[in-house]
Structure 1
Amino acid sequence: TSHLSSTGHITRSPARNPLSFRIMQAKVTLLDGSLFTCTVEKRARGLQLFEQVCEHINLLERDYFALSFRDADNNKNWLDPAKEMKKQVRGVPWNFSFNVKFYPPDPTQLSEEITRYFLCLQLRQDIVSGRLPCSFATHTILGSYTVQSELGDYDPDECGPDYISELSFAPNQTKEMEEKIMELHKTYRGMTPAEAERHFLENVKKLSMYGVDLHHAKDSEGVAIMLGVCSSGLLVYRDRLRINRFSWPKILKISYKRNNFYIKIRPGEFEQFESTIGFKLLNHRAAKRLWKVCVEHHSFFRLVSPEEPPKKFLSLGSKFRYSGRTQIQSRRASAQISRPAPHFPRCISKRNMLSRSLDGGTYHTSIPCGWGLGFLSATLPFYSRVEPDPPAGLLLSSQTFTSETSTTSTTTHITKMVKGGISETRIEKRIVISGDTEIDHDQLLGHPGKVIWKLINWTYFLLG
């Protein structure tokens, strides 16, 4: 541009670099709390930034991870690797977080130690934030393995009486918990960091909320619930109690319209017709986010390979498709990794010494008997389920059976009665959980078979 100066001469302002309009600075918060900054073109796809981050942290098993960002309404969104970033991140700074997106059902099958470590870091964040609830006992065991992983063997010459007081292990951490963690940590002499992380992962995967992505919703009666998406299907929670589970093989179709989210259920053994269940989300964007998460989780965990995108002249409605590798493809690729095990620092100071954000651990099988049963009796709030009382009628007989395991106490009450001239037998089970092992509801659903899904418009169909 030109300007007329006070002396009458024409001056020209310095030419701007045209590249400056096309380049953006992206900031990515990594799982260890450090910040990675890089430049990317506005028109670059999300995959370009994701690959830069993975190269920076030396990660090869990338398919379980993704980049997330907060939109203008502070809602968490996953960066689509196949879509231009400028079309996804609107009106907010280009600040991202590197997170686990797909939690492997058996994390010990991951090939590289560095991958397992990053998964541990994510799970520790989940535990401290309260997204992954644990009992007092489990918090203690998990914390002890975290200390062993990050600090190594207990050394009385270097460790003071409160050497873990600056670390965080639970949302409501107590002095008693820290003492139990230190007591256990002292018994792990000789355990390597990799072994401690394997113990952590082997046990944390048993927690009922492991890998569950929660979304606020309401049921058909307007009651507030939470919908959880995980590797096995869709879960429904009300008042911190899981009230229903729909496995992927049981779901025929998922769809959304406006702020409503629908699932069509395969008929049961004694049913003739399919049933459709609807849920109400906050708005259209929330319904679409939930739908996309369901599509991605089903594609990753259930399909052999991702679907081919439809031809353009057949494309209707949403064009979204899961574009990454499936878990089967990822495992095959991991088996081909031949590089030496990479060396990486476990920098605890970035995460914990300043911000008290450490968390993590594993379920221990040999708890000192001196801690007593009271320490083990912390129950999980998600599965304390009591059935409603039986209807009134003429009681014919009543029987009660009780069975106990190391983690549960089950009372079965069988009543036979006559109501309205009809003989009725009622079986009521009350289960008290004294550990973190989830009740195996999956036995009622059978083993999932081979399924193929097709995406049409904003609907996800099961073809066979």
Structure 2
Amino acid sequence: MRESLRRLAGSSSEDGMESRPTGTRRVRIELLDGEHINVDIDRKARGSDLLDKVCDNLDIVEKDFFGLLYAQRGDSRAWLDLERRLSKTFRNEPWDVRFVVKFYPPEPSELRDDNTRYQLGLAVRRDLIEGRLTCSTITHALLASYVLQAELGDREGRVSGALLSSHLAVPLQVLTEDLEDKVDELYRKHKGQTPAEAELNYLENAKKISLYGAELHPAKDSEDIDISLGICARGVTVLRDGILMNRFPWTKITKISYNKRIFTLKLRASEFDECETYLSFRLPSTRACKKLWRCSVENHMFFRREAPVRVARCAGLPRFGSRRVSCRRTLRQLRAALPTPAA
């Protein structure tokens, strides 16, 4: 994996001043480990071409779990449209994007590619460090102990705060002496685990965190109370003050729609209900509402559908911008396309 990173970084100089073929553009990419690399790509290329190029250089086979983020009008986490030409999204060089995990697999053990699993581990660590994912102190300690086992091997000395910080094992705001002691105790128990085993154990514990892989969107409920809507592999989660209030699995949701700033979920009638239920939420802007709608549709399509489908315009409602979604293959198609591991 590190050899792949060096090869990719070596394909472009840091200063970006060397000559390159006519008709190409310079793209600066931030990887999940915090490194920045430059790549050159044809000016007529689409987002999918850039994603494929990065994945190929990182030796990632399961490309469809990943995506590219860029900053757009105050939104630092806008998803790059994989079907749109890059020149229609960016203007001045270098074009800046972030390589990230877009669809977090609910069962990391089912991943076929070690490099995908490695990148997923980096993504979870970054979510924890940057505060998008929170967990208990004991979970922080357990995850940090697997990080050290994967990167340093068997424990040789006592765990210190400086060691944990240098390996980005825990967020600085939760680092205490008690946490160091707990990490040290757990780290000792992992003796003999290989890096691959430790990385898998890390992910098997991370997937149990309630907001694992969730993309959060600020909104207001019907009572005008501030909430967050989390979209992930399992469905839509409603949180208030960071506390999980409700969860709607994809199997219960029959329709996802939006009109201006109003985002609506249509829920299947349960055995105790006489009719279907509609839940509506108000977003800060039409742009934010459309982003939530796209995120929801793409996650539902990737994790639940047999194959991508064209998203039709809702009858009787005006069309607010493009309804194109960036989902090239679903999870089922991805698994079917990969060779079955030898027994």
TM-score tier by shorter-chain length is: 0.7 to 0.9
CA distance in 1, matches of 2:335, 2:69: 23
Alignment-mate amino acid for residue 294 of structure 2: K
CA distance in 2, matches of 1:118, 1:142: 15
2:78 paired residue number: 77
Give the secondary structure class of the aligned counterpart of 1:198.
helix
CA distance in 2, matches of 1:102, 1:186: 33
CA distance in 1, matches of 2:243, 2:119: 30
2:7 paired residue number: none
1:131 paired residue number: 132
1:188 paired residue number: 190
Q: 1:266 to 1:151 in 2, by over 3 A?
A: same
Alignment deviations for residues 112-168 of structure 1 (CA, whole Å, 9 cap, x no partner): 222111111111111122222111111111101100101112235xx7876615433
Q: Aligned pair 1:307/2:306, yes or no?
A: no
CA distance in 2, matches of 1:292, 1:93: 27
1:120 paired residue number: 121
**TM-score after normalising by structure 1:** 0.63
CA distance in 2, matches of 1:280, 1:144: 41
Q: How much identity, in percent, do the aligned residues show?
A: 39
Alignment-mate amino acid for residue 282 of structure 2: K
2:25 paired residue number: 24
1:54 paired residue number: 55
CA distance in 2, matches of 1:254, 1:161: 48
Superposed displacement of residue 188, structure 1: 2.4
CA distance in 1, matches of 2:194, 2:283: 46
318, 333, 336: which is aligned to 1:332?
A: 336
Alignment deviations for residues 419-445 of structure 1 (CA, whole Å, 9 cap, x no partner): xxxxxxxxxxxxxxxxxxxxxxxxxxx
Which 4+ runs in 1 deviate beyond 4 A? 90-93, 159-163
Query: What aligned pairs does 1:320-359 form with structure 2 within 5 A after superposition?
Result: 320-336=324-340
Alignment-mate amino acid for residue 55 of structure 1: D
Q: Is the 8 A contact 1:61 1:115 kept in 2?
A: yes
Identify which range, 241-250 or 99-108, moves more after superposition: 241-250
CA distance in 2, matches of 1:250, 1:69: 32
Q: 1:162 to 1:274 in 2, by over 3 A?
A: closer
Structure of higher RCO (CA pairs closer than 8 Å, 6+ residues apart): 1
Q: 1:210 to 1:309 in 2, by over 3 A?
A: closer
Give the secondary structure class of the aligned counterpart of 1:63.
helix
Alignment-mate amino acid for residue 279 of structure 2: I
Alignment-mate amino acid for residue 26 of structure 2: Q
* Structure (1 or 2) with the larger CA radius of gyration: 1
Structure with bigger strand share is 1
Structure with bigger helix share is 2
Alignment-mate amino acid for residue 264 of structure 2: Y
Root mean square deviation of aligned Cα? 2.4
Give the secondary structure class of the aligned counterpart of 2:298.
helix
1:290 paired residue number: 292
CA distance in 1, matches of 2:116, 2:164: 28
2:270 paired residue number: 268
CA distance in 2, matches of 1:75, 1:85: 17
Superposed displacement of residue 334, structure 1: 2.8
**TM-score after normalising by structure 2:** 0.84
CA distance in 2, matches of 1:214, 1:107: 21
Superposed displacement of residue 247, structure 1: 1.6
Give the secondary structure class of the aligned counterpart of 2:39.
strand
Give the secondary structure class of the aligned counterpart of 1:76.
strand
